[in-house]
């Protein structure tokens, strides 16, 4: 426990103090946008990891990120909502939507569920193109920056439009949101609910035979997963101040899944490390030109062959699972 607390403290000091200090020294303010994107992608990937935890392969998280982004954009531009109010609403909308979608398809096993979720992102894109409220292919643009939040005259969150460096503010909010989401995920996994979810991964028939409500657990886990995707999408909208039907595509849904594989499916924080490695690894391989995709796919195949439990398995002590 002491080692975990020390590790958590070191992580928080690194992301909230050391990283901003290094960026300030280097003057590379663009790194704030890059690291903010990594934080938000890791939140969406954390949701995908949770569906893996119940024994399902989710390749449709991009649909919920897109839906969350549009919910936030529509509420801000058409209903005059504050961004901070739309953030949880976007997540709740996606959670409710996932319940409606999940009730029938979560009964499917393994590859069948995966193939159904694969089409969700494309369905979301086509819906955004067709619905009048989403403004079709033109998307929704000129979305204002998040405004001030104050309680009894005390400013809790400043108006981002008045800040000299809003990229730093977005970075801090995104990282804080990431920390909260992973703390919640860690708590879920290590609770009674998490142990029941793990039983679904091992043997659903056996779990049902001892009285576990497997259908309820599957839907609950899928709704939490989609909630994460929704708030990540809403934050992306705030950063880019726009959203289009192509903002999240099938490739993004596949990458969310790959982040989990790369970091390690057996580790709560696997998606976070996987997102960081995949994001920067792809950029580094850009220098290889036309061989970029070949090297990238070859490295992934080698990883799955020699490190099937992800990169974090390298730090696993013999006989001890972190």
**pLDDT higher than threshold 70 for residue 17:** yes
**pLDDT higher than threshold 90 for residue 253:** yes
The 3-state DSSP class for residue 109 equals coil
Q: Which two tokens stand for residue 118?
A: 């694969």
- What pLDDT score was predicted for residue 318? 44
Distance between CA atoms of 183 and 289, rounded to whole angstroms? Answer: 39
- What pLDDT score was predicted for residue 151? 87
Residue 164, C-beta contacts closer than 8 angstroms, at least 6 positions apart: none
Give the domain ranges of the chain. Answer: 2-315
- What pLDDT score was predicted for residue 110? 64
Q: In degrees, to the nearest 5, what angle opens at C-alpha 202 toward C-alphas 200 and 204?
A: 45
pLDDT tens for 106-128 read: 877 667 788 888 899 999 999 99
- What pLDDT score was predicted for residue 109? 66
Q: Which position has the token pair 């490390």?
A: 273
pLDDT tens for 137-186 read: 999 999 999 999 888 888 888 999 999 889 999 999 999 999 999 999 99
> How sure is the predictor about 320, in pLDDT bands with cuts at 50, 70 and 90?
very low
Mean pLDDT, to the nearest integer, of 130-142?
93
Distance between CA atoms of 248 and 201, rounded to whole angstroms? Answer: 28
The pTM is what?
A: 0.92
pLDDT tens for 34-93 read: 999 999 999 999 999 999 998 888 999 999 999 999 999 999 999 999 999 999 999 999
Between 269 and 204, whose confidence is greater? 269
Distance between CA atoms of 49 and 244, rounded to whole angstroms? Answer: 26
Q: Is residue 61 a contact partner of residue 47, using CB atoms and an 8 Å limit? A: yes
Between 228 and 291, whose confidence is greater? 228
- What pLDDT score was predicted for residue 300? 83
């Amino acid at each position: 426990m002491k080692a975990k607390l020390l590790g958590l403290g070191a992580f928080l000091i690194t992301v909230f103090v050391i990283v901003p200090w290094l960026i300030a020294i280097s003057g590379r303010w663009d790194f704030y946008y890059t690291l903010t994107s990594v934080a938000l992608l890791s939140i969406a990937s954390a949701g995908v990891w949770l569906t893996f935890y119940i024994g399902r392969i989710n390749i449709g998280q991009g649909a919920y990120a897109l839906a969350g982004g549009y919910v936030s954009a529509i509420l801000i531009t058409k209903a005059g909502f504050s961004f901070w109010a739309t953030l949880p609403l976007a997540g709740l909308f996606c959670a409710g939507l996932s319940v409606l979608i999940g009730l029938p398809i979560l009964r499917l096993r393994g590859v069948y569920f995966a193939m159904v979720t694969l089409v969700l992102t494309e369905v979301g894109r086509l819906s955004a193109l067709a619905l009048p409220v989403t403004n079709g292919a033109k998307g929704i643009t000129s979305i204002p920056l998040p405004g001030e939040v104050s309680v009894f005259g005390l400013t809790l969150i400043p108006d981002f439009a008045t800040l000299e460096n809003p990229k730093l503010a977005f970075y801090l909010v995104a990282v804080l949101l990431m920390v909260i989401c992973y703390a919640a995920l860690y708590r879920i996994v290590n609770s009674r609910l998490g142990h029941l979810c793990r039983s679904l991964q091992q043997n659903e028939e056996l779990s049902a035979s001892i009285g576990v409500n497997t259908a309820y657990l599957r839907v609950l886990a899928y709704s939490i997963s989609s909630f994460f995707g929704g708030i990540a999408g809403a934050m992306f909208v705030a950063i880019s101040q726009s959203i289009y039907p192509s903002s999240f595509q099938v490739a993004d849904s596949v990458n969310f899944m790959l982040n989990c594989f790369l970091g390690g499916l057996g580790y709560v924080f696997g998606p976070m490390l996987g997102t960081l490695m995949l994001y920067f690894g792809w950029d580094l391989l850009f220098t290889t030109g036309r061989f970029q995709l070949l090297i990238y796919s070859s490295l992934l195949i080698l990883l799955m062959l020699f490190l099937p439990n992800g990169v974090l398995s390298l730090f696993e002590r013999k006989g001890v699972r972190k």
